[in-house]
Amino acid sequence: MTYDRIEIDWIYTHLVWAYVFSHIYYCHYSLWLYCAQRAKGAEMTPAQKEIFLIVDEFWKLYGFGPTIDDVMRLTGEKGRGNVARKMQILIEIGVCKGVKGRARSIRPAYLKVRNLE
């Protein structure tokens, strides 16, 4: 079985790109895992405190949790992913509770709500 030079170049190129993308994915996942594990034992950062205060005040004013867009608007952040990540870290730390996949479910951990979980 013989391969043309074009086929070998195509195979080599795709193997290289597969390696590059798998390495990028692994590095991204490792960084995320490191940050999540570190956040569990750490105190809140100033940005996390700000988001916690927003969640707390939002519950006091309206009786339900804020959306990611509400928090973005109040903090002045421009990325939904950054806000969502910080909200998720608050849940992992244990200062907030929430139901994955449900909008407006984030709440302070001290607050008792029926039928939320």
* pTM of structure: 0.60
Report the distance separating Cα 97 and Cα 106, nearest Å: 6
Contact between residue 65 and residue 104 where contact means Cβ atoms under 8 Å apart = yes
pLDDT of res. 21? 57
Label residues 58-83 b or e (16+ Cβ within 10 Å = b). bbeeeeebbebebbbebeebeeeeeb
Beta strand ranges found along the chain (DSSP E) = 96-97, 107-108
Identify the residue whose tokens are 């405190």: 49
Chosen CATH of 43-117 out of 1.10.10.10, 3.20.20.120, 3.40.50.150, 1.20.810.10: 1.10.10.10
Residue spans per domain, the chain: 1-40, 43-117
Biggest CA–CA distance in the chain, Å, is 73
**CA 63, 68, 70, 76 torsion: positive or negative?**
positive
Residue pLDDT tens, the chain, 117 long? 555 566 666 666 666 666 655 655 555 545 544 554 555 555 788 999 999 999 999 998 988 899 999 999 999 999 899 999 999 999 888 888 888 888 888 888 887 766 555
Identify the residue whose tokens are 């195979």: 11
Report the distance separating Cα 76 and Cα 53, nearest Å: 14
